[in-house]
Each structure stands twice: as structure tokens, then as C-alpha cells.
Amino acid sequence: MTASPAKLDSKERGAAPVALLAELTHRCPLGCPYCSNPLALDARAGELDTAEWARVFSQAAQLGVLHAHLSGGEPAARHDLAEIIAHCAKAGLYTNLITSGIGLTQDRIKELADAGLDHAQLSIQDSDAPSADRIAGYKGAFSRKQAVAQWITRVGLPLTVNAVIHQANIGRAGKMVRLAVALGARRVEIAHTQYYGWGLLNRAALMPSRAAADAAIAEVEALKKTYAGVIVIDHVIPDYHARYPKACMGGWAKRGLNVTPSGRALPCHAAETIPDLVFWNVRDRSIEDIWTNSPAFNAFRGTDWMLEPCRSCPRKTIDYGGCRCQALALTGDAREADPVCHLSPHHDKVLKVAVLAAQGEDAGGADAYSYRRMKSREPA
Amino acid sequence: MMRTSHTDIAWKPCLARGVRLKYDETRREWLLLAPERVIKADAIAVEILKRCDGTATFAAIVDDLAAQFSAGRARVETDVRALLEELAAKRMVDV
């Protein structure tokens, strides 16, 4: 073994990533105002080609990655999607397609299943069609998704439905679980909006009142019992109202990595909001080299980087100080404790936002959305 | 624990589509891969799940395990049922 450049014990350095989230493209027909993609979207011209993605997935599998999440943007916008899936399957990776459904046809879904796709995850925006289309900024999205769900289950692929919860649909969180059951999903993700990127830009129009959030959380938790053995409900509750922060990403650079359409490797999808982090590109470096040596991946690995109150906190290896991007967004310093934590000296900043929401701040809802759109001019 | 009809001796358990039992060379252990889930499978679970091919009945799987490991049939049946019912509740085994 050669000496390692950073002060990390071999256990932290040695753990292989479990998952790779591949943003195959940032192109997407929908404009959801809470999109997890960055505000500055990658243009088509800079996207990794088929051979480059194939190399990335081979290297990832070699390193120990188990799950390949094929995401975007809308991954179906890539004409080589089936080819990419076939390559992942050959490499032994478990493939999960994360899709809006737009751009998929019955034949295309069969082609993807035949290529070795293991699982499909379909987003829905609401259980009410006009509202769903308004949130997506795409007329007809809701009805199209009903058809796509049917095609997915018809070819025998397991289906997860995922829904992001916010002001405009929070009263129908339970109905969305029921819709997922009706669509034949084996699993449903009900995730309250996280406020990064587009979500942060649209926070005033998205954040629900505390009372509405509490009611929705109780309703969905109760449905876990109702639907035990029928559908698995994964519930991501809003952290602005929590006492302790979430263990973001299961710990920085601990479980997985993200590759952008143009090949930048990130410890999480929002990591580029943190200034001065140096991201390596899969065009220049191997996945193993990036995972082990990239400055961005080592910046917040382990616990050495922590400030107080995290440094002496007994929970530091439980929640890893929470989310670095949220710490930066709300305190100005990514090394601070996530201010969601009640022990953070900046906790009042979270309270202020949560109190505004609790007072029923209404910034116009859907009328005030800044829809997620590409800024650059390019042919679709 | 959810009670279902899994006590039916004619039941032919099978991992659901999208659930894979895999030996992982990197971690040197058996894993059950499912959507957003990685579950470590211990030696007993591996022996049970390898037999859940959709053709062997629940009763035949129990008989086979009891014979191969010289274990009491009642004990084996309890273990097999507990594992399969747990996985069925997670929609990882087809009922």
C-alpha cells in the first residue's frame, strides 16, 4: 500500500461506493419548479457519448458500485439509452431508470426491458390532472404518465412511483399514494421538497404551512399500515421542521457519487453550489481515482473537517453534521453544522423560514413558479 | 408480522422481478439487490433464497434444507417462513 495523501483512515477511504447516479442528460420536456438539477444546466453539446458512459459504468462496477441510477433531466431523451442499459447489465450493475415518462412509448419500454433494465421509477406531480400538468409546466403530462405506468407494469418491470410534495399538492399526499397503488407500483416515494437549486429559487411558492405538512405526514404514515404488503412507502419528511439534521447522502462521499451530463463527478447533486470545491471529470480520471483522491470527495469525508458543535457531538457519526449544501446556503459556510439542527448557532435562520411558512405565507403558488428551463439556446 | 397464505405447502416462492441475489466480489458477501435497497444475506438466507426458483414448493424447500443440514424440520420451517414473509412484506418475494 502506498501512503495516502489525506488524513483518512483506511476504513473511510476503503469503503466502496454503493450507487452511481448518472445524469445522462439535462434535457427534459418538463419544467418542475423543484428540480434537483442545478440552475446552470449542461447543454447537449457537452454530454458524454455512449462510449464514455460505458467506460464510466465499467469502472464503477469494478470499484464495487451495485446500483446504477439512470437519471437526468429525462434519460429517455438519450437515443442510446437501451445501449447504455445493456452495457450496465453486462457489467453486473442493477439498473434503475428514473423517468418522467415523457418520451417513452410501449415499444421503447419493451426495448429497455429486453436490454436488461431492472426497475423503473416514474414521477408524478399530483393526483389531480390539471394541477399535475401545471406543476410540470407540460400539458398532457398526467394522462401520458398513466399510460407509461401501464406499459411498464405490462412488460413485467417493477415500478416505483415518486412524488415531490409542496404547497400545491400537499393536501393530496394520501391520494398520490393511492394513485401509485392503482398504477400497480410496488413502491412509492413521497418526498417533501428539498430546498436546493430550483427548489430554493422557488421556495416561497413551494413551502407548505407547518399545519399542512404535519397533516400530510400523519396521513402518509397511517397509509404505511393500511398498505403493508401491498406497497412499500418511502417517506422523506421536511427537514426544516426537524430537531436533528438528516444524514445527507448517508455521509459525504461515503455511499455514492453523481456524474453530470458533461462528466463532472460530484459527491451529491447540489455539491457544485459550494464554492472552491474542485471537481474532477470522468473524461480525465477514472472513477476509482475520483472516488479515492478527488479534492471535492475528500473535502467533507469523515469528521476531521467539522467545526463545533459537530466536532464534539455524540451524533457526529450518525448524521455527519447534516447537509453541507444547506449549511452553505443558510449560513454562508459549508463547514457549519446544518442549521436544521437545534444545536446550530444559526438555527434561527431555519426557524425564520419555517415561521414564515407557518404563517401561511402565500407567494402566489403555481403562478409564481420559475419553471426549470435551459437557458442556453440549442436545438432540442 | 403480516399473516398471509404463505403457509400453503403448495406455494412456490420466487424472488420478485427486480430483486437479485448476487455475490459481490468487492465486499465478499452475498447481497440482495432491490430498488433503492441493498440487504446483506447471511448464509442461511442464501441457502433459502437459492432454492426459491418458482418451481420448488415451500414444503419441498423446507424438506431439502432439513435434509441437507440435518436440522429439525419444524425449526427449518419457522426460519424459512419468517424470512419469506419478511421479504413478501417488502414486496421482494412474490406471493
Q: What is the pLDDT of residues A211-231, one digit of tens each?
A: 999 999 999 999 999 999 899
pTM for this predicted structure = 0.92
For B70, which DSSP code?
T
Domains and CATH numbers, chain B: 11-94 (1.10.10.1150)
Q: Over 90: is that where the pLDDT of A73 sits?
A: yes
Peptide bond before residue A5 is cis, with ω within 30 degrees of 0:
no
Q: Using CB atoms, which residue from A64, A156, A229 is nearest to B27?
A: A64
- Could B36 and A64 be called an inter-chain contact, meaning their C-beta atoms sit closer than 8 Å? no
* Strand residues in chain B grouped as ranges (E): 14-15, 20-24, 29-34, 37-40, 93-94
- How close is the nearest chain A Cα to the Cα of B81, in Å? 15
The predicted-structure confidence for B40-60, as pLDDT tens digits, reads as follows 999 999 999 999 999 999 999
- Could A94 and B90 be called an inter-chain contact, meaning their C-beta atoms sit closer than 8 Å? no
Q: Using CB atoms, which residue from A66, A96, A234 is nearest to B38?
A: A66
- Measured between CA atoms, the residue of chain B closest to residue A229 is B89
What pLDDT does residue A257 have?
Answer: 97
- How close is the nearest chain B Cα to the Cα of A346, in Å? 33
The predicted-structure confidence for A88-110, as pLDDT tens digits, reads as follows 999 999 999 999 999 999 999 99
| Confidence grade of residue A378 (pLDDT, cut at 50, 70, 90) | very low
| Confidence grade of residue A361 (pLDDT, cut at 50, 70, 90) | low
Residues in B closer than 8 angstroms to A64, CB to CB, are: 24, 26-27
- How close is the nearest chain B Cα to the Cα of A10, in Å? 15
- Could A118 and B2 be called an inter-chain contact, meaning their C-beta atoms sit closer than 8 Å? no
- How close is the nearest chain B Cα to the Cα of A230, in Å? 7
Q: Which has the closest alpha carbon to A240: A166, A341, A361?
A: A341
Distances in whole angstroms, Cα of residue B41 to Cα of each of A172, A258, B3, B20, B44: 38, 27, 23, 11, 8
Backbone phi, then psi, for A84, in 5-degree steps?
A: -65, -45
Per 3-state DSSP, what percentage of chain B is helix, strand, and coil (rounded to 5)? 40, 20, 40
Q: Using CB atoms, which residue from B2, B18, B26 is nearest to A228?
A: B2
Q: What percent of chain A has pLDDT over 90?
A: 80
Q: What percent of chain A has pLDDT over 70?
A: 92
- How close is the nearest chain A Cα to the Cα of B84, in Å? 12
**Contact criterion met (CB below 8 Å) for A22 and A69:** yes
- How close is the nearest chain A Cα to the Cα of B90, in Å? 6
| Confidence grade of residue B7 (pLDDT, cut at 50, 70, 90) | low
Residues in B closer than 8 angstroms to A92, CB to CB, are: 22
Interface check for A218 against chain B (CB to CB < 8 A): the answer is: no
Strand partners, B22: B31
Q: Say how many CA atoms lie within 13 Å of A162 toward its Cβ.
A: 19
Q: Provide the chain A residues 53-112 that lie in CB contact (below 8 A) with chain B.
A: 63-64, 66-67, 92, 94, 96
Predicted ipTM? 0.88
Buried b (16+ CB within 10 A) or exposed e, A52-66: ebbbbbbbbbbbbbb
- How close is the nearest chain B Cα to the Cα of A105, in Å? 21
Q: What sign has the CA pseudo-torsion A143, A148, A149, A150? A: positive
Best residue in B26, B31, B37, B95 to probe A by mutation, most A CBs within 10 Å?
Answer: B26
Q: Using CB atoms, which residue from B18, B24, B26 is nearest to A157?
A: B18
Query: What is the 3-state secondary structure of chain A?
Result: CCCCCCCCCHHHHHCCCCEEEEECCCCCCCCCCCCCCCCCCCCHHHCCCHHHHHHHHHHHHHHCCCEEEEECCCHHHCCCHHHHHHHHHHCCCEEEEEECCCCCCHHHHHHHHHCCCCEEEEEECCCCHHHHHHHHCCCCHHHHHHHHHHHHHHCCCCEEEEEEECCCCHHHHHHHHHHHHHCCCCEEEEEECCCCHHHHHCHHHHCCCHHHHHHHHHHHHHHHHHCCCCCEEEEECCHHHCCCCCCHHHCCCCCEEEECCCCEEECCCCHHHCCCCCCCECCCCCHHHHHHHCHHHHHCCCCCCCCCCCCCCCCHHHHCCCCHHHHHHHHCCCCCCCCCCCCCCCHHHHHHHHHHHHCCCCCCHHHHCCCCCCCCCCCC
- Could B36 and A186 be called an inter-chain contact, meaning their C-beta atoms sit closer than 8 Å? no
CB atoms within 10 A of CB A351: 15
Q: What percent of chain B has pLDDT over 90?
A: 80
- Tell me the residues of B at the A interface, defined by beta carbons under 8 Å apart: 2, 4, 16-20, 22, 24, 26-27, 31, 33, 35-36, 38, 88-91
Q: Over 70: is that where the pLDDT of A7 sits?
A: no
